[in-house]
Structure 1
Amino acid sequence: MKYVIGVDLGTSAVKILLVNQYGEVVHEVSKSYPLIIEKSGYSEQNPEEWVEKTTVGLKELVEHFDGDVRDIEGISFSGQMHGLVLLDKENQVLRNAILWNDTRTTKQCEEIYETFGKERLLEITKNPALEGFTLPKILWVKENEPLVFERASVFMLPKDYLRYRITGAIHMEYSDAAGTLMLNVAEREWSSEMLEAFGLAPEFCPPLVESHTFVGTATPEFAWSTGLSKEIKVFAGGADNACGAIGSGILSEGKTLCSIGTSGVVLSYEERNDLDFEGKVHYFNHGEQNTYYTMGVTLAAGYSLSWFKDTFAKEEAFDQLLEGIDEVSPGSNGLLFTPYIVGERTPHADSNIRGSFIGIDAAHERKHFARAVLEGITFSLNESIEIFRNSGKTIDTIISIGGGAKNETWLQMQADIFNAKIEKMTSEQGPGMGAAMLAAYGCGWFESLRECADVFLQPAKTYEPIPENVEAYQKFFTMYQQIYTQTKNLNIQLRMFRK
């Protein structure tokens, strides 16, 4: 039996899967690492933590492996998008990585529009200038840490830095490069026009490769420290959302994914590179060659639930926290929650907006608040689905993965709010499985990723929308959509009191 490894470098932990030729997860390991939050809106990590925890996790995986390590043929990666890692000429890290959920770069986003123009930016990059993207972070360092920037030789994204530490080779693949605001998405090349506009040299950007490209083998040092074979084939990998799509079988037109992790994503497969969503949703290169996907993002999806638990039920498990929500009818007895606790991205690209509970009543119990949080997260994701539908896309089946696929009541809620059939997969390992599939395809096990998906992925359960719940939620969703505009100015005023 042959095996591959999928490494999912997430925001809070690295998750490592050992997968056999039938797509079965033989073993998995997770190692967490901390966020560094110096002040409101800042979010950083030490890249060395990624390397250290991945090394420890791979060593543990190998120690539990009952076989010849040479049968572990390949390894590939999924990674948190947009994060900025700066290296000097000796390829040493110059500062902590600035992560995707860091919102300090509002000023730099405005400068991008002033310098380049919104329409031209959308033509080239297919995406608006948002605080989470990589180019605004680069410009922030250039302006606020000029001595650091002067020493910067190349920038990387998180999983690409991890892969560099494994192989010693520097590359970036298209699905992650698409989230930098420096890639010409349709032409699949670094945009010289963007680089020149902001004074960045072409060599500042890594060489581009496909997600399934073989980029090298493990260095002797890394193989020794983990127990892996020196011959293990290393493949480029993909952005977490692209890998989540691959690992959920979103590999043909009309397929849609709902992924609820720290952030929440609604993602739909696209074959064309010339669609125009006017920047309302993201438009990225897929991990499958010469294809694309559109994507809406809720910044604090699962994070809203984690925040609620840590604030009001820190010692309890999530199952305890959610006890009783199935007894609460749709609408949480007139209680609404907006998950804007770190700002929002789709459809409101706004770093100032903050969350709300609306309609708190003396009759409300904790179960009402818990259900309202789940409903608010799902309403936010539904705004992206509505954008897709309004553009003419048919969305009748959605594959749900991540935290939102771990609770039966939440899965039914998604079916009711999205008014679509929800499929839960046998494996809920989305991004990690997608990374493993890229390694399997790269190793030549299959002729295509779609062929790999047919073997590796199977639906476990389906949830159909309940008509009376759909009707109730449509009314409630209309009310939810009013909260952003009615609280926007209040949140601007409240900003001065945040520390």
Structure 2
Amino acid sequence: MGVLLSIDLGTEGARVGAFTDDGTSLGSVHTPYRTSFPRPGWAEQDPDEWWSAFVTSARALLATEACRAAGPVVALASATTASTVAVVDRAGRPLRPAILWMDSRASDQAERTAGFAADHPVLAWSGGSDAAEWLLPKAMWLKENDRATYDRADRIVEAVDYVTFRLTGRWVGSQMNAVCKYNYDSIARRYPTELYEALGMGDLVGKLPDEILPVGSPAGTVAGAVAAEIGISPDAVVAVGGIDAHVSLLACGAECDGLVSLVSGTSSAIIAEVDEPTTSTEVWGPYPQALRTSKWLVEGGQVTSGSVLKWAGEGIMGVPRDGLGELIAGAAAVDPAAHGLRALDFFMGNRTPHRDARLRGAVVGLTLGTTREELYRAAIEAVACGTRSVVDSFARAGVRCDRLVFSGGIERNPLWQQVTVDVLGREAEIVTGDNLTLRACAVIAATGTGLVRDLDEGARVFAPTTRTLTPSATHTEVYRDTFADYQELTAALTPLMHRTVDRLARRKDEGVPA
């Protein structure tokens, strides 16, 4: 018997979990770190704080009686937010703050990639262009706007690859992140050097990981200094992890055909796998061999979802976190047909189906009689409409959506759960009392150390507990109009949002107060 250690670097902090080889959770510990927002649309974090938070969480967890009794740590795996880009020197020390996944500063560079789709078929796997969130556009932005730091950088990597390096001392990249976030050709097993050169980024290849390996592959063992720092054996295997939301497919149970995993927390990532590639500009992908090497992965999502609700409740209304239950209960009592509000959830742009970094949030229909409960409910309805727009885009792309499984921060908000299935007009499952990213990392660690034959067997062993969410027929009828209004409002406000964002960017560049 031994311990499988799971590492989840999320937006708000590092959570470390421990599991036995039969899938029993031994607990988890979370340590927060900071996010800074130096300009509108920018978001940054300090990689040294990631590591410090991981070490703090790991040491606290491994000191518990349950972990001590379970035996030594035999394997570790990590998952992180995707498109969170670390820029480091030869020793792995940060040269600047990491550019967070939600940062949209590289929207111009992302739009530029679309002009190369005809000559570089690898872009077909990302719907014809890269997104502003991804590593390649962010590296382009860095080269064009901070050339000195770009030139000094020995590595420009995804957060998960930074963690693997800190654990092992080796620059081993996750095939999932490479395929999904910087156009790696997993079929030919090579970087798309021709595309990089066409974009003026030929030198980026030397700054990326030395080796790309599939999820679940052993990347090495824990470096001696790290083993001493967190109190584990240096013989523990480090398995290649991936993107926090994407690996969740491994923790939804064994049946993956027709499965859609909806990880709804600060943002929402909506993930599925298909047997054959499908073409759509409304989704990201299909990515070949991103998770299971026999499948194509399709990705969609919302840049802001739970963060919109946090902004409304804790930020604007000033409700403390321990008082949110009362606000949610009050919002649940609001008649969705009577409050007259319509809202948009694009606070940091739209991930899919619009793929537009310049969209922004909005609320219309406010009156002097509008209550905070009505406003909070309207925010939830906007987020739910955003989720439906992604699920609908999957269906239009030919992706089977037979089984919807929700997980993440949505579990702590019953109104968010109910409004979402009401807007969708269909049943869904929600994972209870579990963190799917940590559970999926246990599957990956078990695979990397040979405790299970492959990821599929691990998915069967580590299946979670779920319950069913059932929509209200009455509210589903009301929300047909709400969703139609959401789509119409998006189309009407898009030109204004673009002008406003562009004008603000120009003023910032010129040093004019906004």
Superposition TM-score tier, normalisation by shorter sequence: over 0.9
What are the residue-to-residue correspondences of 1:130-145 with 2, within 5 Å? Answer: 130-145=131-146
Q: What's the secondary structure of 2:110's corresponding residue?
A: helix
| Post-superposition CA distance 1:341-368 (Å, at most 9, x none) | 1121212222222111122234432211
Task: Kindly report which structure 2 residues correspond to 1:20-99, keeping only aligned pairs within 5 A, or say none.
Answer: 20-66=20-66, 67=68, 71-99=72-100
Shift of 1:282: 4.1
Q: Is the 8 A contact 2:217 2:447 kept in 1?
A: no
3-state DSSP class of the match of 1:15? strand
> Which residue of the partner structure matches residue 462 of structure 2?
456
| Alpha-carbon distance in structure 2 between the residues aligned to 1:4 and 1:41 | 37
1:314 deviation in Å? 4.1
- Return the letter of the residue paired with 2:96: R
Corresponding residue number in structure 2 for 1:191: 192
Task: Give, as a single letter, the amino acid of the residue that structure 2 aligns with 1:21.
Answer: D
User: Which residue matches 1:473?
Assistant: 479
Equivalences for residues 275-424 of structure 1 within 5 A: 275-284=278-287, 285-308=289-312, 309-317=314-322, 318-331=324-337, 333-424=339-430
**TM-score (ref. length: structure 2):** 0.90
Range that drifts further, 433-442 or 242-251:
242-251
CA–CA separation in structure 1 for the residues paired with 2:7 and 2:121: 36
Partner Cα distance (2:462, 2:88) in 1: 37
Q: Give the paired residue count.
A: 498
Residues 125, 377 of structure 1: alpha-carbon distance in 2 compared, 3 angstrom cutoff: closer
Q: Paired residue for 1:156?
A: 157
Asked whether 1:430 is paired with 2:431, we answer: no
**CA distance 1:453–1:232, change in 2 (3 Å):** same
Cα deviation for residue 10 of structure 1 reads 0.9
Q: 2:452 matched to which residue of 1?
A: 446
| Contact map agreement 1:426 1:457 (CA 8 A) in 2 | no
Give the 4+ runs in structure 1 shifted more than 6 A: none
Taking the aligned partners of 1:82 and 1:135, their CA distance within structure 2 comes to: 9
Deviates more, 1:100-109 or 1:485-494: 485-494
Residues 235-287 of structure 1: CA deviation (Å, up to 9, x unaligned): 11111122222222376221011111111122222223x32113544433533
Partner of 1:229: 233
Question: Structure 2: which amino acid aligns with 1:222?
Answer: V
2:207 is the alignment partner of 1:204: yes
Secondary structure of 1:483's aligned partner? helix
Using the aligned pairs only, state the percent identity: 23
Counterpart in 2 of 1:166? 167
**Contact 1:124–1:185 (CA under 8 A) maintained in structure 2:** no
Q: How far, CA to CA, are the matches of 1:332 and 1:221 in structure 2?
A: 61
Structure 2 contact 160–174 (Cα < 8 Å) conserved: no
Query: What's the CA shift string for 1:205-237, capped at 9, x where partnerless?
Result: 211001101111111211111111221111111
Tell me how far apart the structure 1 counterparts of residues 273 and 32 of structure 2 sit (CA, whole Å).
Answer: 31
Change (3 A) 1:126 1:29: same
Q: Is the 8 A contact 2:85 2:157 kept in 1?
A: yes
Paired residues of 1:264 and 1:297 also in contact (CA < 8 A): yes
5+ residue gaps, structure 2, are 506-513
C-alpha displacement at 1:376, in angstroms?
0.7
C-alpha spacing 1:110/1:220, structure 2 compared with 1 (3 Å): same
Structure 1, unaligned runs of 5 or more: none
**Does the Cα contact within 8 Å between 2:122 and 2:183 map onto a contact in 1?**
no
Q: Give the SS at the match of 1:476.
A: helix
Give the deviation of 1:172 after TM superposition. 0.7
Number of the residue aligned with 1:14 = 14
Shift of 1:2: 2.3
State which drifts further: 199-208 or 215-224.
Answer: 199-208
**Structure 1, 327-336 or 478-487: larger mean CA deviation:** 327-336
Shift of 1:331: 4.6
User: Quick one: which amino acid aligns to residue 105 of structure 1?
Assistant: A
Confirm or deny: 8 A CA contact 1:7 1:435 kept in the other structure. Answer: yes
Alpha carbons 2:282, 2:354 under 8 Å: kept: no
For structure 1, which segment, 243-252 or 190-199, has the greater mean C-alpha deviation from structure 2 after superposition?
A: 243-252
Q: Distance in 1 between matches of 2:405 and 2:304?
A: 20
* Cα separation, partners in 2 of 1:90 and 1:6, compared to 1, 3 Å: closer
Deviation at 1:146, TM superposition (A): 1.2
Contact residue 7 and residue 78 of structure 2 kept, 8 A: yes
Cα deviation 1:48-79 (Å, max 9, x = unaligned)? 11111111111111211452685321110111
The one of 271, 274, 282 equivalent to 1:270 is 274
> Residues 17 and 279 (structure 1 numbering): CA distance in 2 closer, same or farther, change over 3 Å?
same
Distance 1:89 1:225 in 2: 21
